[in-house]
């Protein structure tokens, strides 16, 4: 039986010009993960990361800690198909349409606009984002400028299938990615519909890990959203 550990990146720079850069807190979250693995002598046979800067940097920080403890860390492989869905394009395309057609989305958008630069703006943006992407995941709206939810889920599923097919038996694999690919993998393992699946995106904490067991045709959930390495409430973040 092999084990696949999917790690969500550390906190990125939410609502900043360069979202893809880890925040100072995000770097500390990644460091804590590395210390946890080192303390428990957890090693991996294969290391993978998605193409985003936040994926690679989370991996690099954890790797530095593990290696400094004298433990092995394989050369990392980049897998583009483990990238997040293009949330910014989905929002740019769908919000203007939905505010005219959907009362709930219009209300959420108005609350976000009214919040301006206040401390509540991030919370209202998150609620708007959740509402829009739920509708996007239902495949009721075409988004020709970017991939559909079905295409995204197929992309991630194909990446996981290739990983399984090219991994030796009884291996431990870790992949650094985002909440969307983790949610898609949970949906695949549990045979969930799109609306059920996308709910896992909002539950996934920064620098948390989820684990899956696989052997032959078997692929099952072992853990979701684990954060034993984050030992202080100040380290608990979702965005």
**In this predicted model, what pLDDT tens digit does every residue of 156-171 receive, in sequence order?**
999 999 999 999 999 9
Cut 0.85: pTM above it: yes
* H-state helical runs in the chain: 24-39, 53-68, 87-101, 103-115, 121-137, 149-165, 179-190, 194-203
Residue pointed to by tokens 């949970």: 186
Is 47 within 8 Å of 174 (Cβ atoms)? yes
Is 30 within 8 Å of 174 (Cβ atoms)? no
**In this predicted model, what pLDDT tens digit does every residue of 35-91 receive, in sequence order?**
999 999 999 999 999 999 999 999 999 999 999 999 999 999 999 999 999 988 999
CATH 3.40.50.1240 maps onto the chain at 8-85+147-171+178-187+197-206+226-235
Instruction: Give the number of other Cβ atoms within 10 Å of residue 228's Cβ.
Output: 12
| Domain 8-85+147-171+178-187+197-206+226-235 top-level CATH class | alpha beta
Of 42-56, 137-151, 188-202, where does the model show the most confidence? 42-56
Instruction: Give the number of other Cβ atoms within 10 Å of residue 122's Cβ.
Output: 14
Q: What contacts 79, CB < 8 A, 6 or more positions away?
A: 48, 49, 50, 51, 159, 163, 175
Q: What is residue 140's predicted lDDT score, i.e. its pLDDT?
A: 66
For the sheet containing 209-215, what is the strand order? 77-78, 46-49, 172-177, 2-8, 209-215, 218-226
């Amino acid at each position: 039986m092999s084990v696949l550990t999917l790690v969500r990146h550390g906190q990125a720079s939410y609502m900043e010009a360069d979202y893809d850069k880890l925040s100072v807190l995000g770097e500390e979250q990644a460091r804590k993960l590395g210390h946890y693995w080192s303390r428990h002598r957890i090693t991996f046979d294969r290391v993978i990361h998605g193409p985003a800067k936040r994926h690679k940097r989370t991996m690099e920080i954890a790797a530095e800690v593990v290696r400094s403890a004298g433990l092995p860390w394989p050369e990392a492989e980049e897998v583009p198909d483990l990238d997040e869905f293009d949330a910014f394009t989905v929002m740019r395309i769908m919000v203007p349409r939905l505010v005219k057609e959907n009362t709930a989305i219009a209300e959420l958008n108005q609350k976000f606009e009214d919040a301006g630069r206040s401390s509540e703006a991030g919370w209202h943006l998150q609620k708007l984002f959740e509402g829009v992407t739920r509708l996007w995941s239902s495949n009721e709206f075409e988004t020709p400028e970017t991939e559909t939810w079905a295409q995204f889920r197929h992309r991630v599923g194909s990446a996981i299938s290739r990983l399984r097919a090219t991994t030796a038996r009884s291996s431990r694999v870790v992949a650094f990615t985002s909440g969307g690919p983790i949610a898609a993998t949970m949906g695949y393992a549990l045979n969930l519909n799109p609306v059920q699946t996308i709910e896992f995106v909002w539950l996934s904490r920064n620098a948390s890990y989820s684990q899956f067991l696989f052997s032959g045709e078997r692929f099952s959930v072992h853990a979701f959203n684990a954060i034993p390495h984050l030992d202080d409430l100040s380290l608990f973040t979702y965005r």
